[in-house]
Structure 1
Amino acid sequence: MDQARTTISKIFNGEPHSYTRFNLTQNMEGDNSQVEMKLSSDMDEEVGENGVGDHSLNNSNRKPYVAQKLGRTPKNLCFMAATILLIFIIGYLIGYLVHRKKEVAPTCAASKLPFDVPVAHETGAAPLMDWDDVKKLLAEKLSPRNFDTAFSDLSSSNHQAGSLGDEVLGKIVHKKFKENGMNTWTDEHFIKVHDAPVSGFNKFTFKGERETQVQGFLSYSATKEVTGAILYAFYGQENDFRMLRDRNIDLSGRVILVRAGRISFAEKVANAAKMNASAVLIYPDRADYNIGESTQLYGHVHLGSGDPYTPGFPSFNHTQFPPVQSSGLPQIVAQTITEAMATNILKKLGGQIVPQEWGGVTKLGDETDVITLSVSNELTEKKINNVFGVIKGFVDSDRYVVIGAQRDAWGQGFATSTVGTSVLVELARSISEMVKNDGFKPRRSIVFASWSAGEYGSVGATEWLEGYLSSLSMKAFSYISLDRIVTGRTAFKVASSPLMYSVIKSALDEVKTQSSGATLMSQYGKGSWESNIMEPMKLDNAAFPFLAFSGIPSVSFRFTSSNSDYPYFGTMQDNRDRLNAATSNQVPQMAEAAARFAGHIALRLVHDHLLRLDLSKYDKIIRTRVAQINAKVKDVQRLKPDMLPRSLTMQWLISASGSYSRASRSLAADIQNSNLEDIEMCRVLNDRIMTVERNFLSPYVSPRESPFRHILVGSGSHTLQGLLNHLEALKSGKAEADLFRNQFALATWTIQGCANSLAGNIWALDNEI
């Protein structure tokens, strides 16, 4: 081939008759340089357009170019052309035979070929295993017997974050990842947390009675002594406080007594702080937590996630960051008490009768029910380690799904962390064996992560996100949480990004439990699976920071009980015996079903050509929110025209919603019209899909002040729900109209920006807005 090419080059070594882009032309120094020139046809068109005669008029008396150059007759030229053609054919056949002997590599390795030889179009690096075979392999690798072994290996009586037990467990997980042949690494952080007093106790004195000491505590509470009158506030939800305020009860300076449950400890404390309360006491009511009257509760009250003393920054050692604190740190005192302590207080309260719907308690408390509360938790620095292992993909190895589980707990933490860590390790082993021994070749990578300091508010996971956010933004396309996945067996609940609904439905339809042989859908999703199974993702969900802080589509799930939640989280009583009682001694079987559900989602995401993320779900959510905002705006304009003039139009927000809808439909059409065997095409389409969640993070708010920046599922005034709340406040004259207009404009442009990114190339944008 090379000889033939050289011969042709020598024969036609002159100025070509017509030009093409990127021809090699001989420069004055004699070497070849690559230059861009116009096609002769373009020039012809320009000449024609300018009215100057046909190009052929200037060449009517000239011999053919090659004949001029070489001085040959047409007969000789024909003979020479035939010879050249024969040489070219022989060279081509030799090259073809040599090429066939070469083994095609299973990856898309870039190769540099001469410019004039067509580059072979790669259509897929990893031969796809049939999906049914993938499911069958995973089911064969997982068994309840293996989980029994994993529980024994990973159980610990004391593995609080930063302790020796936590470190030992981390090393065991690291060793198991290594044994599976995975690439492993650790991520070290130095975090600040509040722990119980080293000497002494947190304590309170009610109505001058004997001092009561408490062992349980709430990390990140303000540390001081306060005195105030007790006021019972049910669960401490916003509507509970509104009900008290509507009764003309002064909440300023009061010590609020609330039940545990329904919302997180942090939200209860934040709601009380808005009412100018001085402190919050939280207890487990028997109606919700039948855990014994002397059981202590442990937890945290940071309204956020991660280390609150490095908000928005990673807690690496010796890092120099501004001395700031998270806006989610409470400024009031918070403390847990036992059921017996709360009962003693409640039966002595005076004041108004409780609302009928609250039940149980009889009186709310009055100004004479005085309590003195002293909290002296100690701020300590701890070193924690996150442990990672990766199974690399064979096509897009730099794109990955992350599967993570909390490793630490207050006590034994069997349901809190042992089950999830065991499922993590068993999934890593099973999928590694599928790759090593069974020919499974995932297109994308799977990262397995064992987090520490989850009990303090997903600290380990959030610090990792903060440290590598820029790297993760277009790399990690999904997160699967394995925290608290088995707490019962009669119900199944899933919380996720709306983008993941389609892959969740696929898993529900195909994953069967070993005990019944029926699919999860037929067992738990009869009727409307979305209403029976799906639930909102709460602030204290371990997957929430991945979704609302980092813009990574996330999912968490749990087997639970249909009549009540597992009551032992945040206590020292979370052990295997109690989880056995909650699952009818089916813990290994339920863990195996949980592993198959998580594994199904992960494998589907790394197996298919395209990411199974459903963009249409967000389209419906945006339209619903926009309709709600539109109705409230008209309501406020009618009732309070001075607060919100009629000049404020909804057209921009409606147009932005339409832009997202059109962009999502356009992407669906592009997918239908694309060759999914084309690696580069798939990568471009997948990148467009991956931008959606990230682009719903408002770029107009600080991640330090408002870490959960997602305007649809996050929290704060920048969200669409925040706009609805602001409109409600405008109706009562308790909000600023100018602030609303600013938030309204920024939310509108966030949606439009997401639509622009989803549309793809800059020339495909819809500029109607």
Structure 2
Amino acid sequence: MDQARSTISKIFNGEPHSYTRFNLTQNMEGDNSQVEMNLSSNMEEEVGGNGVGDHLNHNSTRKPYAAQKLGRKPKNLCFMAAATFLIFIIGYLIGYLVHRKKDFAPTCETSVDSYIEPFDQETGPAPLMDWDDVKNLLAKKLSAAKFEPVLREFSSVNHRAGSPGDDFLANKVMKKFKEYAMNSWSDEHFIKVQDPPATGYNRFSFKNGRDERPQGFLSYSPNGTVTGTVLYAFYGQESDFGLLRNKGVNLTDRVVLVRVGRISCAEKVANAAKMGASAVLMYPDPAYYSIGDSTALFGHVHMGSGDPYTPGFPSFNHTQFPPVQSSGLPKILAQTITAGMANTILNKLGGQIEPESWGGRYQLGDQSDVITVEVNNVLIEKKINNVFGVIKGSVDADRYVVIGAQRDAWGAGFAASTVGTSILMELARSISDMVKNDGFKPRRSIVFASWSAGEYGSVGATEWLEGYLSSLSMKAFSYINLDRVVTGQKEFKVAASPLMYRLIESTLNEEYPFFGTLLDTKENLNSAVGNQVAQLAEIATRFAGHIVLRLVHDHLLRMDFMKYNNIIRSHVSQINSKINTVKKMQPQLLPKVLTMQWLMSASGSYSRASRKLMEDIKNSDLDDVEMCRIYNDRIMTVERNFLSPYVSPRDSPFRHILLGSGPHTLKALSNHLDALRTNHPEADGDLFHNQFALATWTVQGCANSLAGDIWSLDNQI
């Protein structure tokens, strides 16, 4: 009987040839499901005595009970035994299949047998809910009316990072995650940030006039005092400084006056420093920012993210790293001023007229336009808390998408943080409810994150990433940011990795003028969006929710790894053209052995690997869990492998060779060739050759990883 039962068990529940969504779990010892084990136990009780197998034990010294009672001959007893066996097998199969049907039902009622293991122990694919049903479920959970109380609950006048107001909101988030029956935890960091002077002030004085004391500031500016002449430089972009240099304007030791916008404050300061400037003043141009003449601006100028005093490693309290500073910290003073203060300066400047492409209104400044700038910011240590909740996946629980929102702000920060935090909480509530009450089973996990110290440069998020980099780089496949998602009523702004372009159909842009000011209030956001904050938040939540749910619903990650083919080819074509130009015009500046062959080959390897993976996916059984996991892992490595392994995150915070910044990027190679072509004093042919080789191997390494198995690699390189 044991052998028969084992054979039948193998037929119905043995090791499958390929995984499908209908397989029951098998434990590590090789036993079959708990359903079968419990049925066996019940049958033994019904037969009674010494167990089911005793009457078939030919070594037993006792006669079977039926033979003793009826005095049957051995031949008849054999027939009776055979008949009993056949009846038992039929009953067993019927019972087995009935229980199997119960287990496969789309909705699971509480079992009569309370000891049967729950269905969430399966290893096969989760029962796949139709995508339209998933979208409809989410839509039913969300409404503008539900957003109004959430927006009120997470509104706060004062919740700067590390403040009691920030901690109060963190506790609210944690309480909500627990209410939604999510696994939740917090993550504590001790960070160094710059705040405005607690006593004293930052100031500037133009042409020996009265001291101006702006309320706003730029965190991470060096402290000190400089005196120089004002130079108006439009938006402070590299192209803007290039125009000034071409006009013969002296840039050395100038105090540069620039508009806010187009590029980050940190980039403006870095560009000015490269030109030899001594300080930067930034202001909001009233033509683009209708925030009034006296509104203060707040921001930071760290050319990187995270705590700049723990670059590349986490700011946990127990870390014992020696004092170090990020290479992204600026070397020159930086300060914000109001539009009114800037207008006073601009109207008194002398010198050349600005280029026509800038507007042709202002003069650039001359040697008589002297200004003194003083910065006295205070470097302090703060304790911050990130708060997390997770909805675990039913198939690949150890693969997860992270969706997060900044919780802190300079002031009220209604658009900067309140709306995003409210959307985060509504998504957590809605998706948790879908899992608990509607039968939705995400294949992968969703991590909801509430970050602190976002205003100082994504400090909370970056420190968490640095703290768990080895785990996150292998298991987290996407991050969705909810900060500043509602800024207007006509358009929706989305930015993403090229891998996400197909998932996000279009990107539109509308500027909200109150970011980085104390005017970022509920009233001003309502005014900007026609009193439809709740309605737009609901739309944004549904949009973000669709992205998250799609990433955890489908068998394969919806990431377009083919998108990088054209991007790489475009860079390679540009570099090839410029190398040929330099070899013709300045052949002595490049090593003779330098050739484009290897970079072109690496580009081709990536193209072939991505096309081959796409073909393999099209020809695969998507019900094969293991195969899907292998494919998804290969897709997940794309972005990670475009991070140059040859530069330190301490020295180059943005290591992506296609989207990052620094000498390791393909864009930097192209710019270096421009410098070689013009015989710029900082150009170096040998340095270019080294950077060229490292970038080539970064592309090739990404292609090798995408190809998968070592025997599938392109052996031409």
Query: What TM-score results when the alignment is normalised by the length of structure 2?
Result: 0.84
Q: Secondary structure at the match of 2:547?
A: helix
Does the 8 A contact of 1:637 with 1:646 survive in 2? no
Equivalent in 683, 690, 696 of residue 636 of structure 2: 690
- The verdict on how the C-alpha distance between 1:638 and 1:89 changes in structure 2, with shifts beyond 3 A counting, is farther
Does the 8 A contact of 2:453 with 2:460 survive in 1? yes
Q: Distance in 1 between matches of 2:564 and 2:104?
A: 37
What is the match of residue 206 of structure 2? 206
Equivalent in 494, 512, 533 of residue 566 of structure 1: 512
Q: Secondary structure at the match of 2:485?
A: coil
List per-residue Cα deviations over 1:667-698 (Å, max 9, x = no partner): 11211221111111111111111111111111
1:617-656 mapped onto 2 (5 Å cutoff): 617-645=563-591, 647-656=593-602
TM superposition shift of 1:359:
2.2
What is the match of residue 557 of structure 2? 611
Does the 8 A contact of 1:123 with 1:677 survive in 2? no
What is the match of residue 365 of structure 1? 365
What is the match of residue 375 of structure 1? 375
TM superposition shift of 1:182:
0.8
Q: Distance in 1 between matches of 2:87 and 2:642?
A: 59
Structure 2 gap ranges (5+): 8-81, 106-121
What is the match of residue 404 of structure 1? 404
Q: Distance in 2 between matches of 1:102 and 1:767?
A: 53
Establish whether residue 765 from structure 1 lines up as the match of residue 713 from structure 2.
yes
- The verdict on how the C-alpha distance between 1:88 and 1:609 changes in structure 2, with shifts beyond 3 A counting, is farther
Q: Distance in 2 between matches of 1:750 and 1:235?
A: 33
Q: Secondary structure at the match of 1:258?
A: strand
> How many positions carry a matched residue from both structures?
627
1:257 maps to a residue whose letter is: L
TM superposition shift of 1:642:
1.0
Comparing 404-413 with 209-218, greater Cα deviation is found at 209-218
Does the 8 A contact of 1:261 with 1:288 survive in 2? no
1:579-728 mapped onto 2 (5 Å cutoff): 579-645=525-591, 647-728=593-674
Q: Distance in 1 between matches of 2:630 and 2:83?
A: 42
What is the match of residue 72 of structure 2? none
Establish whether residue 738 from structure 1 lines up as the match of residue 666 from structure 2.
no
List per-residue Cα deviations over 1:497-517 (Å, max 9, x = no partner): 111122223xxxxxxxxxxxx
Q: Distance in 2 between matches of 1:323 and 1:106?
A: 59
Comparing 355-364 with 377-386, greater Cα deviation is found at 355-364
What is the match of residue 418 of structure 1? 418
State, as a whole percentage, how many aligned pairs show the same letter.
69
What is the match of residue 755 of structure 1? 703
- The verdict on how the C-alpha distance between 1:96 and 1:223 changes in structure 2, with shifts beyond 3 A counting, is same
2:183 maps to a residue whose letter is: N
Structure 1 gap ranges (5+): 8-84, 108-121, 506-528, 535-559
TM superposition shift of 1:322:
2.6
Q: Secondary structure at the match of 1:491?
A: coil
2:290 maps to a residue whose letter is: N
- The verdict on how the C-alpha distance between 1:3 and 1:355 changes in structure 2, with shifts beyond 3 A counting, is closer
What is the match of residue 155 of structure 1? 155
2:594 maps to a residue whose letter is: L
Structure 1 stretches of 4+ with a deviation exceeding 3 A read: 1-7, 85-107, 122-125
Does the 8 A contact of 2:413 with 2:520 survive in 1? yes
What is the match of residue 16 of structure 1? none
Does the 8 A contact of 1:106 with 1:394 survive in 2? no
- The verdict on how the C-alpha distance between 1:130 and 1:642 changes in structure 2, with shifts beyond 3 A counting, is same
Q: Distance in 2 between matches of 1:601 and 1:625?
A: 29
- The verdict on how the C-alpha distance between 1:747 and 1:282 changes in structure 2, with shifts beyond 3 A counting, is same
- The verdict on how the C-alpha distance between 1:640 and 1:88 changes in structure 2, with shifts beyond 3 A counting, is farther
Does the 8 A contact of 1:442 with 1:607 survive in 2? yes
TM superposition shift of 1:124:
3.3
- The verdict on how the C-alpha distance between 1:211 and 1:474 changes in structure 2, with shifts beyond 3 A counting, is same
TM superposition shift of 1:102:
4.9
- The verdict on how the C-alpha distance between 1:161 and 1:687 changes in structure 2, with shifts beyond 3 A counting, is same
List per-residue Cα deviations over 1:360-397 (Å, max 9, x = no partner): 64321112211111110000000111111111111111
2:610 maps to a residue whose letter is: S
- The verdict on how the C-alpha distance between 1:6 and 1:326 changes in structure 2, with shifts beyond 3 A counting, is closer
Q: Secondary structure at the match of 2:431?
A: helix
Does the 8 A contact of 2:230 with 2:256 survive in 1? yes
- The verdict on how the C-alpha distance between 1:188 and 1:123 changes in structure 2, with shifts beyond 3 A counting, is closer
Does the 8 A contact of 1:4 with 1:88 survive in 2? no
List per-residue Cα deviations over 1:73-122 (Å, max 9, x = no partner): xxxxxxxxxxxx99999998787566546558789xxxxxxxxxxxxxx8
Query: What TM-score results when the alignment is normalised by the length of structure 1?
Result: 0.79
1:170-189 mapped onto 2 (5 Å cutoff): 170-189=170-189
- The verdict on how the C-alpha distance between 1:6 and 1:130 changes in structure 2, with shifts beyond 3 A counting, is closer
Does the 8 A contact of 2:591 with 2:685 survive in 1? no
Does the 8 A contact of 2:591 with 2:686 survive in 1? no
List per-residue Cα deviations over 1:103-150 (Å, max 9, x = no partner): 58789xxxxxxxxxxxxxx88342111111100000111100111111
- The verdict on how the C-alpha distance between 1:165 and 1:699 changes in structure 2, with shifts beyond 3 A counting, is same
What is the match of residue 114 of structure 1? none
Establish whether residue 285 from structure 1 lines up as the match of residue 320 from structure 2.
no
Q: Distance in 2 between matches of 1:400 and 1:86?
A: 55
Q: Secondary structure at the match of 2:257?
A: strand
Q: Secondary structure at the match of 1:374?
A: strand
Q: Secondary structure at the match of 1:140?
A: helix
Comparing 496-505 with 267-276, greater Cα deviation is found at 496-505
Does the 8 A contact of 1:409 with 1:455 survive in 2? yes
- The verdict on how the C-alpha distance between 1:322 and 1:95 changes in structure 2, with shifts beyond 3 A counting, is farther
Q: Distance in 2 between matches of 1:725 and 1:6?
A: 70
